[in-house]
Amino acid sequence: METSVNTTRDREFHKKRRKVWDNAFKKSLADYAPRIDEFTEQLLVRIARNVGRQIVLNDICIHYSYDVMSPLAFGDSMGFIKGDSDDIAKSVLDNIQKGVDAIGLLLHVPWLMGLLTTFSWAIGPMRQWNEYSGELVVLRKKMKNPKPDLFGHLLENTEDTAAGRSLLNSECRLIVGAGSDTTATALTFLFVHLALYPEWLHERNFVRANEFLNAAMMELRSVVVRVAHKFDIAFPRDTVFDPVEYFSRVKDHFVAGAPRQEIVFSRRSSNT
């Protein structure tokens, strides 16, 4: 299996590499809250363009989370929320989502997962994913970015050798996959619950703008509050939503994969 901070069994290597990661987070994410606000605004614009329409909740959540991850990690946004992402990025995102079920199963069979990663240059959806992650590393090396980002710090603290380049490619995939799918799944489940229990929107005073927004210290919660402040969230008309059936379809892989769900956003009559 590949060597990276999340797969190695070498305790000494993990200790040293984890320290590099810890310092990278401290230095690169010091101002991440206002940077996230930019993409939350884009999310609100995208929802506003689709008010009253049925949209796939999973799509907007995964697009938002990947857009937030990419500039914080690599200095440049993938442009999913605004619709600016190129065909290669879209294809890679599709392959990540399609392949995650199989990878999740293979993780329970370490030798088979090792075989897959060894031959990923030749077979399966992993091939394009691996090639794209390598391209991301090359692009980040060439980038002149005034804002600190996570991968820039990893580059500075990794030797430019075959082993070092392999390590960076592997950790690039770790950043993209682990940092995005978890956030997207959490957002999806939160919005599903708000549609299932609309009374929460009023009981928890989402309509009281600044008072509640200032209390939203955690960025994920802030995203939900800002969306709920502007929009009511509901299932499509005449839809009978069965929470037991829905959550029974949750997939167990890297994260609890949220089943596809359509949702309707509508503007609140007033935001006082």
Where would I find the beta strands (DSSP E) of the chain?
54-56, 231-234, 251-252, 256-257, 262-267
C-alpha distance from residue 15 to each of 10, 159, 178 (Å):
9, 17, 20
- Amino acid 151 reads F
- Beta strand 231-234 with 54-56 is unpaired
Domain ranges of the chain: 11-267
User: Contact 66/183 with Cβ under 8 angstroms?
Assistant: no
Q: 11-267 architecture in CATH?
A: Orthogonal Bundle (1.10)
- Render each residue's pLDDT in the chain as its tens digit; 272 residues: 567 777 788 889 889 999 999 998 888 777 777 778 888 999 999 999 999 999 999 989 988 988 888 888 888 777 888 776 656 556 666 666 555 555 555 555 444 445 455 444 445 556 666 777 788 888 888 887 667 788 988 999 999 998 898 899 888 878 877 767 778 888 999 899 999 988 877 665 555 444 444 444 456 778 888 898 899 999 999 889 999 999 998 876 655 678 899 999 999 876 54
Q: Kindly give, in sequence order, each residue whose CB lies less than 8 Å from that of residue 189, ignoring residues fewer than 6 positions away.
A: 256, 258
The predicted pLDDT at position 97 comes to: 59
Residue 172 CB coordination number (10 Å) = 23
The pTM (predicted TM-score) of the whole model is 0.79
Using CA atoms in the order 156, 2, 6, 182, what is the torsion angle rounded to 10 degrees? Answer: 100
Task: Summarize pLDDT for 124-138 with one digit per residue, the tens.
Answer: 556 666 777 788 888
Question: Of the candidates 217, 207, 212, which has an alpha carbon nearest to the alpha carbon of residue 272?
Answer: 207
pLDDT in tens, 51-106: 999 999 998 998 898 888 888 888 877 788 877 665 655 666 666 655 555 555 55
Spatial distance between the Cα atoms of 52 and 78, rounded to a whole number of angstroms: 27
Integer Cα distance of 53 and 264 in angstroms: 6
